[in-house]
Structure 1
Amino acid sequence: MREFIVEADGGSRGNPGPAGYGAVVFDAATGQTLAERSEYLGVVTNNVAEYRGLLAGLRAAFDLDPTATVHVRMDSKLVVEQMSGRWKIKHPDMKPLAMEASRVFPPERVTYEWIPRERNKVADRLANGAMDAGVAGAAEVSADPVSAAAEVSADSVAGADASRVAAATTTAATTDAAKTAATKTAATKADADIRAAKTVASPGWGPPDMGAPATFVLLRHGETALTPQKRFSGSGGSDPALSEIGRDQAERAGAALARRGTIQAIVASPLARTRETAAAVAGRLGLEVTVDEGLRETDFGAWEGLTFGEVRDRYPDDLNAWLADPEARPTGDGESFTETATRIAATRDKLVAAYAGRTVLLVSHVTPIKTFVRLALGAPPESLFRMELSAASLSAVAYYADGNASVRLFNDTSHLR
């Protein structure tokens, strides 16, 4: 049986601050370097970066030979002791990463050894190179330039069509002008990440003792059979399950959230498509799912299952009223946008109180997620018609103790490419 040695490291300049990891795979018999991995992570903690380095190294080894045995060497006493089972993993940010790492190879084929930093120079060099490149403007240092360009474009352009932007960025990156533009964009992103981390530590204009915000990461469920047909699908319809595409989207969202390593709890709408999406993510993160009725989709009454065109043909007066007045209900005593907003505001306040200072994944639907964003921005009800929210997309809003909110992300679909 083949044996690999994996050396990994991660670092954060500020903790949290601009962070990166490095990992290298050696042939245990010959000492030959077989693979190197490194990546700029944005703003995360030192421990998250170290775990991400371990995960990258194990995955690189698995790609080389999934039947091999692996000996991991790291200068992180915490990671080595936790992965060896001698120390408990108490921090919620570490648990999903540790679980993900333990699943790459069967645990009996992986051993761990602590080594001093001076013996971990290759991984340390790769990690520092990733951090240097990230701060300088390269979003990712890896063997996959397409992924690097996609990461920059999707994180930098809120609300854009992620696949279209990624394709344009990848193509344009062959020109000097596009490279310069990408560098400036990524540098702006790095600066923004640093500012965001500082805001968490000392939020807004308020007093310094407000503490960290409650951060809601808002995940729309994956596709159902009704999604590509653009049919009204609320809480009063057939309650469809995810399609095959939707299940794949849920798995991809879960993998992306596991890599980020920041989710501490999961709350989902009671409808089938959201519970199924949440279960897929929870399996990746090692967390339980709590169901909250307040996160359900709007009830569209008699419009459930119909396309916009079909509603316009059958109920033109009701549709025009609904488009013009947030208090108008869909035909058949559906739920108005005003009623949805009242429900979402109450749910928001309850969850902010329950999860103060924590990062929570809310798995919900188009109207509730748009409403969270609209209320955070103080935007008028008609703004709901001006937001595009894709299936399995991620958005994020942070809520502070003084009642202020900050929209951090909207309609990110980079994990689906």
Structure 2
Amino acid sequence: MREFIVEADGGSRGNPGLAGYGSVVIDAATGETLVERAEYLGVATNNVAEYRGLVAGLRAARELDPSASVRVRMDSKLVVEQMSGRWKIKHPDMKPLAAEASRVFPPTQVTYEWIPRDRNKHADRLANEAMDAGRRGEAWSPSASTAELDARAARSAVPEPSGPPGDAAAGAAKARAALAEGRAPVAARPRGGAAKAEADVRAAGNVATGPSEAPPGEAGTTPAPAVGWGASPDLGAPATFVLLRHGETPLTPQKRFSGSGGSDPSLSDVGREQAERVAAALAARGTIQAIVSSPLTRTRETAGAIAARLGLDVVVEEGLRETDFGAWEGLTFGEVRERYPDDLDAWLASPKAEPTGGGESFAATARRIAATRDKLTAAYAGRTVLLVSHVTPIKTLVRLALGAPPESMFRMELSAASLSAVAYYADGNASVRLFNDTSHLR
């Protein structure tokens, strides 16, 4: 029986945001790339794009040989675990896509394997090519991907002199497969002027070249960015958002709902002291280049204390405001449970549910925050910016950066006057650097 490897990936620039997928079918025996698939999806979530990539890869494999066995390799733990039957599929958008994927081949012919993201670079590259093409209003074309890798890999491959005819082509396929996995073929490692050829192939394949070996801070060197999964140093300096939750208000210790639809309280004496401590800590670090604040009073007061210490102006951004909690504003969780039990249960179960009285759902908040994030990353590319905001917006930025599901919001603790940080790179990737740091308050 013939065996294929299907590698698939999907991504969205924003979650939901502009999305695309990439899939590749590989001959398991030779490592040769047989088929590539990629498509721009418009606005979709990251998980939807990943499932669409899986379906496309499986369909491409079936077109080659419906009797083949298939090993699916993806860096999405969610998709792998759900398709393996170990995790339940709860999200309504995922169920039909998972069902569609399961119908392409008989289940006995398909196995699923999770791989790290840096081993799924071929499919990831295709997904990014599709998204780039979609933003230009074009359809994705494979002409600039596999064909070029084939040619470059063939130029760098060194066939064994005693091998039979055809070894050069096989060597090229193996070289391309090795480069797509992030390793150069031993016989083809270039020196001198050939180093650029390898760099070109790695760039074409979106393969990370690894971190700089120079010690951090050494004169004349720039350390590679610490961005989770294999980002290349040539991406440039990220837009780094230092996320500060405002200081305490009179409602904070009582854990009352305090959004953008309530009384807009000022900082308490404790909150003002917290703001001063944050200001001192940030002044000592000396890295903040701009300050952007939610329009609500407690955030503007917190931002003002820091701006006075750092000598910076405060830019007010409406998109950073807290969620509107409707009729729950000013109430404790227990009071909401007592007065609106059904509405609270629905809100806890679905990000699309609104608080009683026409409040803002977490899904609506996420769309607003994603749009604000995209706006600010474009405006402050390569700079370190303090964003003074609230619990829900900060948790949402972290959740989106991690690609975590909406229910993760309820599993994060975010203290008053705490600092978090997320770096955003030019290729759309994000790296969470810090979360809920309160060391400056001690």
If the TM-score is normalised by the length of the shorter chain, which range does it land in?
A: 0.5 to 0.7
**What is the deviation of 1:382?**
0.3
Does the 8 Å CA contact 1:220/1:363 hold for their aligned counterparts?
yes
**What is the deviation of 1:210?**
1.8
Look up the match of 1:407.
Answer: 432
Look up the match of 1:299.
Answer: 324
Does the 8 Å CA contact 1:223/1:391 hold for their aligned counterparts?
yes
Distance 1:250 1:224 in 2: 12
Give 1:14-413 correspondences, 5 Å limit.
Answer: 198-200=223-225, 205-413=230-438
Kindly provide the amino acid, as one letter, of the partner of residue 314 in structure 1: R
Distance 1:415 1:321, change over 3 A: same
Q: Deviations over 1:80-130 (max 9, x none)?
A: xxxxxxxxxxxxxxxxxxxxxxxxxxxxxxxxxxxxxxxxxxxxxxxxxxx
Q: Greater relative contact order (Cα 8 A, min sep 6): structure 1 or 2?
A: 1
Look up the match of 1:55.
Answer: none
Identity between Structure 1 and Structure 2 (%): 81
Does the 8 Å CA contact 2:227/2:430 hold for their aligned counterparts?
no
**What is the deviation of 1:246?**
0.2
Q: Deviations over 1:4-49 (max 9, x none)?
A: xxxxxxxxxxxxxxxxxxxxxxxxxxxxxxxxxxxxxxxxxxxxxx
**What is the deviation of 1:205?**
3.4
Kindly provide the amino acid, as one letter, of the partner of residue 237 in structure 1: G
Kindly provide the amino acid, as one letter, of the partner of residue 239 in structure 1: D
Distance 1:330 1:379 in 2: 22
Distance 2:216 2:292 in 1: 26
Residues 1:416 and 2:441 are matched in the alignment: yes
Does the 8 Å CA contact 1:213/1:356 hold for their aligned counterparts?
yes
Kindly provide the amino acid, as one letter, of the partner of residue 254 in structure 2: Q
Distance 2:413 2:227 in 1: 32
TM-score by length of 2: 0.49
Kindly provide the amino acid, as one letter, of the partner of residue 360 in structure 1: V
Distance 1:193 1:381 in 2: 37
Q: Deviations over 1:131-178 (max 9, x none)?
A: xxxxxxxxxxxxxxxxxxxxxxxxxxxxxxxxxxxxxxxxxxxxxxxx
Kindly provide the amino acid, as one letter, of the partner of residue 413 in structure 1: T
Structure 1 counterpart SS, 2:431: strand
Distance 1:193 1:383, change over 3 A: farther
Structure 2 counterpart SS, 1:219: strand
Structure 2 counterpart SS, 1:209: helix
Structure 2 counterpart SS, 1:200: coil
Kindly provide the amino acid, as one letter, of the partner of residue 242 in structure 2: V
Kindly provide the amino acid, as one letter, of the partner of residue 337 in structure 1: F
**What is the deviation of 1:315?**
0.2
Kindly provide the amino acid, as one letter, of the partner of residue 263 in structure 1: I
Distance 1:284 1:353 in 2: 26
Distance 1:201 1:361 in 2: 19
Distance 1:415 1:250 in 2: 10
Number of residue pairs matched by the alignment: 226
Distance 1:242 1:334 in 2: 24
Does the 8 Å CA contact 1:203/1:210 hold for their aligned counterparts?
no
Structure 1 counterpart SS, 2:371: helix
Kindly provide the amino acid, as one letter, of the partner of residue 336 in structure 1: S
Distance 1:400 1:203, change over 3 A: farther
Structure 2 counterpart SS, 1:216: strand
Distance 1:284 1:384, change over 3 A: same
Distance 2:240 2:376 in 1: 10
Structure 2 counterpart SS, 1:199: coil
Distance 1:394 1:413 in 2: 7
Distance 1:356 1:318 in 2: 41
Distance 1:280 1:362, change over 3 A: same
Distance 1:239 1:214 in 2: 30
**What is the deviation of 1:199?**
3.4
Does the 8 Å CA contact 1:202/1:212 hold for their aligned counterparts?
no
Kindly provide the amino acid, as one letter, of the partner of residue 348 in structure 1: R
Distance 1:225 1:389 in 2: 17
**What is the deviation of 1:198?**
2.6
TM-score by length of 1: 0.52
Kindly provide the amino acid, as one letter, of the partner of residue 309 in structure 1: G
Q: Which runs of 5+ in 2 are unaligned?
A: 1-214
Kindly provide the amino acid, as one letter, of the partner of residue 268 in structure 1: S
Does the 8 Å CA contact 1:241/1:273 hold for their aligned counterparts?
yes
Q: Deviations over 1:353-412 (max 9, x none)?
A: 000000000000000000000000000000000000000000000000000000000000
**What is the deviation of 1:200?**
2.8
Structure 2 counterpart SS, 1:406: strand
Q: Which runs of 5+ in 1 are unaligned?
A: 1-191
Distance 2:375 2:249 in 1: 29
Distance 1:302 1:397, change over 3 A: same
Distance 1:263 1:374 in 2: 23
| CA-based RMSD | 2.2
Distance 1:202 1:242 in 2: 35
**What is the deviation of 1:207?**
4.8
